[in-house]
Copies of this chain bind each other. A is one copy, B any other.
Amino acid sequence: MKVAKFGGTSLASAAQIKKVCEIVKSDEARKLVVVSAPGKRYKEDTKVTDLLIRYAEARLQGQPAEEVQSRIIGRYQDIIRELGLPVEAAEEIAAQLKEALHYIPAEDPGRFMDRVKAAGEDTCAKLVARYLQSQGREAVYVNPKDAGLVVTGEPGNAHVLPEAYEKLRNLKSQSGIVIFPGFFGFTPEGELVTFSRGGSDITGSILAAAVQAELYENFTDVDSVYVVNPSLVEKPKEIQIITYREMRELSYSGFSVFHEEALYPAYQAGIPVCIKNTNNPQAPGTMIVSERPFHENRVSGIAADKGFCSIYVSKYLLNKEIGFGRRLLQIFEEEGLSYEHTPSGIDNISVILREKDFTPQIEQRVVNRLKQELQAEDIIVERGLSLVMIVGEGMRRSVGTSARATSALARAKVNLEMINQGSSEVSMMFGVKEVDADRAVIALYEEFFAQSEEALADMAVTLKA
């Protein structure tokens, strides 16, 4: 049994939905299908989820929302018509969608927002089920409430509850193809709550873990995950196989193919994941697994993320003060700041965090507290940092990886603000100025991927001669 999840671009239009259904029909094992809401049909298009958010915000502010409501309903009506669904089916789906949109904003705007957003996936799932039925297949829309996908209650930030897995396991005995809306679940009290944005990946991963699927297929619009951001490097290499840990590190630092939290249920249950392309289902895609064979090049990907800042704190003999680091982190925690890393010297420590959280007001408060409560001598805030990462299992155990990386960066005239290696077994991290980030990524790609192929080609020439 396989779980197949389809992303927004795979469901953006009737033509795309037809492709999805062909893919589902082509493999008997694809018995559990998770769908997103219709995404963009073309670059300037708007995703249905964004229209739904716009609609909900207008309603919450008491502003007119008719126009955006028509656009939303129109998107589905176009699809229904183009799929040639029977009139009564079309009417039923449209009526249910209208009903969902006409919820009255309750005392809790978060709940209202979640209900409206969820309508995107929910309607899409009903529609896909109807279409498969119209094709003569046994297909059934299953609602997350009925299936038992119970979650925690924070609006827009649900987390699956452990008991959900037991309940969802019953989906195994459902006859026919199950079409399941992604992105949301229900609290034990029956309140609808969505996952964070992009959370349909999470739904698919939870279902795959619950039914102990042989494979969790995640259909998107690229043939595979690339070893580097394809907007920086022309035709970068594709990743054929990668471990959960590697994928997790890449997801953190700018690889947006897969929701950061989505891997966890599959990882825990040991379900292999395959990233595939709805528009080219023959391509093998990228496999995400527990363990992979090491090949010569132990680096499996290079990623970068911008928008970090560092707060450097120094104090003479800081090193001898028991509890200094803990008290420092407590100040950040009390100010609601989540930090990323804390490299340290002998008498100094830096805290690296996401710049967006560190507003000028918070900065002033934190700096004052560091001076007053910790008697810090120097405090230097540096903004505009980027973290560049090399990811690869077993990399750490091979002598010379850091030498190759730092030499490549030096040749590219990238100054290293920070190097963090030593905790993770699978990554090495470089802090650079944002303006240097792209150059750093390209230099590392050339060192670990492009160059090695040239070297191999050279070697082949030498051997022939």
Secondary structure of the A contact surface, majority rule: mixed
Q: Are A346 and B409 in contact (CB under 8 A)?
A: no
* A261 close to B (CB within 8 Å): yes
Contacts of A344 in B (CB 8 A): 340-342, 420, 423-424
Q: Are A312 and B345 in contact (CB under 8 A)?
A: no
Contacts of A405 in B (CB 8 A): 406
Contacts of A290 in B (CB 8 A): none
Contacts of A340 in B (CB 8 A): 319, 344
Q: In the complex, how many residues of chain A place their beta carbon closer than 8 angstroms to a beta carbon of chain B?
A: 66
Q: Are B248 and A346 in contact (CB under 8 A)?
A: yes
- In the complex, the count of this chain's copies comes to 2
Which segment of A4-12, A122-130, A227-235, A411-419 sits at the interface? A411-419
Q: Taking the nearest CB of chain B, how far is it from the CB of A412, in angstroms? A: 9
Q: Mark A384-422, 1 if CB is under 8 A from B, else 0.
A: 000000000000110110110111011001111111111
Q: Taking the nearest CB of chain B, how far is it from the CB of A255, in angstroms? A: 12
Known: A316-B267, A322-B333, A343-B420. A415 touches B399 (CB 8 A): yes
* A360 close to B (CB within 8 Å): no
Contacts of A400 in B (CB 8 A): 410
Residue of B nearest to A332 (CB): B326
* A338 close to B (CB within 8 Å): yes
Q: With the chains together, A340 CA to B343 CA distance in Å?
A: 11
Contacts of A249 in B (CB 8 A): 345-346
Q: With the chains together, A420 CA to B325 CA distance in Å?
A: 16
Q: With the chains together, A317 CA to B244 CA distance in Å?
A: 12
Minimum-distance CB pairs A-B, first 5: A345-B424, A418-B422, A400-B410, A403-B410, A403-B406
